Each structure stands twice: as C-alpha cells, then as structure tokens.
Amino acid sequence: MALLRLVPDETSYRFMWWRKISFPLSIVLAVASIAVFVTIGLNYGIDFKGGTVIEMRTEGPADISAIRSELGTLNLGDVQVQEFGSPEEVLVRIEEQPGGELAQQSVVGKVRAAFEDDNIDFRRVEVVGPRVSSELARAGAIAVGTSLIAILFYIWFRFEWQFAVGAILTTANDVIVTIGLFVILQLDFSLSSIAAVLTIIGYSLNDTVVVYDRIRENLRRYKKMSLTDVLDRSINETLSRTTLTSVTTLLALISLWIFGGEVIRSFTLAMIFGIVIGTYSSIFLAAPFLILLNLRGDGKSPDGDDAEPDADADPAAAA
C-alpha cells in the first residue's frame, strides 16, 4: 500500500493560509469565464443549433479544399469541413436549413449524390431539427440547475447550512470555469458536453463531501482547536485519498484523450480540466468557505482556546 501513496501520511500543510491566494484567483477565473461567455459565447454544436453532421472516409488522404468546393456548389449556407482524426476522415458540418426537419433530411441526400462517384464511405450522419435542438438546450439547462438545487438540499440535510452553501459555491465555481474553457478554446458544446459538466459536478461534490465529512468529525473531536486548525488537519488527513483518486482518474482520461479519437476529444478534455479544477476547489475553496461563512463564530471554540486538541482525541487520524 505504501507504493500507492502519493502523499505521506503525516502531512501538516497550512492550506487555510493559501485562501489569501485561492479566493482572489478563483474570483478572477470565474469573472473572466462569465465575461468571455457573454462577449464571445459558446460554440454550440449541432445538438443545440440544429443542422447536419456528416462523417466521411475517403480511400486515400482527403482533399479538404476539393470537398469544400464541391459542397459550396450545393448552396447549403455555412458549411464547415475539417480533417477528423486521420487524413482519410473528414467531418462536415452544415448549418440548419430553412424549411423544417424535412429540409435538414434533404441535405443528406444532396451530399450523398454529390460524392456518389468518389467512393466515399459515409460513416456517420446526424440530423437535428431546430425544434429538437431547442428542447435539448432547455433540458440541458434544467439538468444542471436541478442537480445544483438537489445538492444544496442534500448537503443542508446531511450537514449544516454552511456546508451546503460552501458545496454549492465550490461546485458552481467548477462549472463556471469549465464553461469558460469551452468558450476560450471554442470547443464544440453538445449534449456530451452537458454530460461532462454533470460528471464534473458529481466528482467535485464527492471530493467536497469527503473533506466535509472529515471536518465534521474533527469539529466534534477537537472542540478546543481553532476552526482554521481543524480545517487544515481535516484536509491533510484526506489529502492522500484526494490525490490518489484524482491521479488515477486523470490517467484514464488522458488515455481516452490521446487514443479515443476526435468524437470524444472535447468531452475528455473538459473532463481532464474539470478533475483538475475540482481537486483544486475541494482543497483550496470548499473548506475556506466555511471560515467565510462563520461556521464556528470567530473561528475558535466558545472559550477561546485554539491551541491544543482535546486530551482524548486521536492525533493520528488517518485519511
């Protein structure tokens, strides 16, 4: 088991001191993410905008410019053509056509007819009408909002209101910053992106609840210790578990990002970023929020003794 430990058992890092840096940094990142979302906006995929996605495979290296020129003669409006993974694979995105869902379906026929003599294999065709796309966008927003509200009530019921608010603020920060990544990199934001955001919420919440549960235990165990010291101790005790979980998850995600192909690349990139920011927030934001929310009055026990733990407390609590 010692070989699997990335962090020594007996650590005593002063994480609460770093809130002087983590709070301003997180505020800057969140505000910047909101700013780019408002000014630039997400690169919504076909799932939300409506339109047609066609994945084609040629016998040899694809001539992107020739394919683009051929599609330009069809008068389909905005058409995006790009290499997709290997030189033989091409991804074509065609904007939503006027005339309803039947018009979207007719696009596929036109494209197939244009390339019927070129021995092109049509590997994937997705057509999403405007009505369906608007319903998907609404359902995605409801899914994220509902999950955050459910988290708020669950943590409130399970712990105290300060823990609930802290968990929501931490999770909201993770979501906002991840959305900012989608905007800055102009990653395709589709239904799989909503799945990535919901997965990040679950992962971040799981990490946060583990830390909060240890904090609650230590608050009962060390009644004479200051809140700051209790929080530092609790994070140090769970640090090995947190880092090991994050690293093993990242190893799997990085493998998917490298070898999984273009179809899931934006999903895995968002997940990788989300795991990193979720681990950061569970250590440097979730617990410090409890100080900001005045969990234990002035941060000390009622008698003001913040130096020594209880005599009957176990000083060697493990993560």
Is 314 inside any structural domain? no
Domain termination site, one of 79, 103, 128: 128
Q: What is the CATH number of the domain that holds 60?
A: 3.30.70.3400
CB 284 within 8 A of CB 207: no
Q: What are phi and psi of 179, to 5 degrees?
A: -60, -40
Query: Which of 147, 260, 139, 267 is CA-nearest to residue 204?
Result: 147
Using the predicted structure, report yes or no on whether residue 312 has a pLDDT greater than 70. no
270-287 residue pLDDT tens: 899 999 999 999 889 988
Q: What is the pLDDT of residues 247-264, one digit of tens each?
A: 989 999 999 888 876 667
Instruction: Decide the pairing of beta strands 79-84 and 86-95.
Output: antiparallel
- Of the residues 95, 128, 161, the one at which a domain ends: 128
Non-local CB neighbours of 29 within 8 Å, separated by 6+ positions? 173, 177, 180
**Which segments of the chain does DSSP mark as H helices, in order?**
19-39, 46-49, 64-72, 101-114, 130-158, 161-185, 191-221, 227-259, 265-284, 286-292
Whole-number percent of the chain with pLDDT over 70: 85
User: Where in the sequence is the domain holding 262, given as residue range(s)?
Assistant: 2-43+133-292
Write out the H or E segment, with its range, that includes residue 53: strand 51-57
* 95, 107 Cβ separation under 8 angstroms: no
Tell me which residue has tokens 């955001």: 197
Asked if the structure places residue 303 within a domain, the reply is: no
pTM: 0.74
Give me the number of domains the chain comprises.
Answer: 2
Q: Is residue 122 one of the residues assigned to a domain?
A: yes
Same domain for 124 and 143: no
Question: Rg of the Cα trace of the chain?
Answer: 25
Q: Which of 128, 148, 169 is the last residue of a domain?
A: 128
In a domain, 237, yes or no: yes
| Tens of pLDDT, residues 151-208 | 778 878 877 888 888 888 898 899 999 999 999 998 888 778 888 888 888 888 888 8
At 159, which CATH number?
Answer: 1.20.1640.10
Report residue 86 as tokens: 């290997």
